[in-house]
Amino acid sequence: MKLAKHPPLSRKTKLLSFDLETNGLHGQAFAVGAILIDGEGRTYNEFSGRCEFKEPVDEWVQANVLPSLAEMPITYASYEAMREAFWQWYVSNEPEADYVLVNNGYPVEYRFLLDCQEANLKERYWQHPFPILDLSSLLIQVGQNPLASKGKLAQNLLGDAKFLPHHPLHDAKVAALVAFEAFRLADRIT
């Protein structure tokens, strides 16, 4: 049985944040990014991967996601290969993390985690994040509208760095930085 982590929050807290890009909200995942980062912005490890997909491209994805991935090379021959590489990275980095974070994880990130576990459920039965934090919920609890404030908070935190929505590694990092800001707004860390 897996026990929940519940360490106190501080600037030393480490979040393992991950994000995916899919061919539409319910389509196949084709890009993943993950980062292990602390409240001071120190990155301990990161992962990114992209695979081809053969299904017709969703119009919204074509217009909004693929341009952000123009510089992200295809690194895996299939979804399964990308998923397995991510899973190996995840299980080696998750023990270092205090919490795992997603940004509005349903259905995309949760489905991906289930696919990872179901590929070898006997071995991976208890290897899921528990608890898993959701950025949208963290923002709501500090009085922020998740859709309206994430980009604004991210731009303030990034300063002169370019905000690149729909690039999974960038989105994973931004989600973590915004989560730490939500912890600060809630007076949980200084």
pLDDT in tens, 135-189: 999 999 999 888 766 667 666 666 655 666 789 999 999 999 999 999 999 999 9
Distances in Å between the alpha carbon of 166 and those of 4, 20, 61, 131, 173? 30, 9, 9, 25, 12
Does any domain span residue 8? no
Per the rule left: phi > 0, alpha: psi between -120 and 50, beta: everything else, 143 is: left
Q: Can you give the pLDDT at residue 72?
A: 95
Whose CA is closest to 144, among 188, 173, 184?
A: 184
Q: How confident is the model at residue 88 (pLDDT cuts 50, 70, 90)?
A: very high
Q: Is the pLDDT of residue 76 over 60?
A: yes
CB 118 within 8 A of CB 129: no
Q: Which domain holds residue 82?
A: 14-185
Per the rule left: phi > 0, alpha: psi between -120 and 50, beta: everything else, 110 is: alpha
Q: How confident is the model at residue 5 (pLDDT cuts 50, 70, 90)?
A: confident
Q: Show Cβ contacts of residue 189 under 8 Å, excluding neighbours closer than 6 positions.
A: 9, 10, 11, 13, 39, 180, 183
* Arithmetic mean of pLDDT, 20-46: 96
Does any domain span residue 51? yes
* Arithmetic mean of pLDDT, 108-121: 97
In whole angstroms, give the CA distance from residue 37 to residue 76: 25
Does any domain span residue 67? yes
Weakest mean pLDDT among 1-5, 58-62, 112-116: 1-5
* Arithmetic mean of pLDDT, 90-109: 96
Q: Can you give the pLDDT at residue 14?
A: 97
Half-sphere exposure of 59 (CA within 13 A, CB side): 0
Does any domain span residue 59? yes
Does any domain span residue 5? no
Q: Is the pLDDT of residue 120 over 90?
A: yes
Number of domain units in the chain: 1
> Residue 115: which CATH number?
3.30.420.10
39: burial class by Cβ within 10 Å (0-12, 13-18, 19+)?
buried
Does any domain span residue 160? yes
Does any domain span residue 45? yes
Whose CA is closest to 128, among 139, 112, 144?
A: 112
Q: Show Cβ contacts of residue 93 under 8 Å, excluding neighbours closer than 6 positions.
A: 16, 34, 36, 44, 45, 47
Q: Can you give the pLDDT at residue 150?
A: 64
Q: Is the pLDDT of residue 64 over 70?
A: yes
Q: How confident is the model at residue 10 (pLDDT cuts 50, 70, 90)?
A: very high
Distances in Å between the alpha carbon of 124 and those of 79, 85, 114, 116, 160? 18, 14, 10, 8, 41
pTM: 0.92
Does any domain span residue 24? yes
CB 142 within 8 A of CB 178: no
Q: Can you give the pLDDT at residue 54?
A: 85
* % of the chain residues with pLDDT over 70: 90
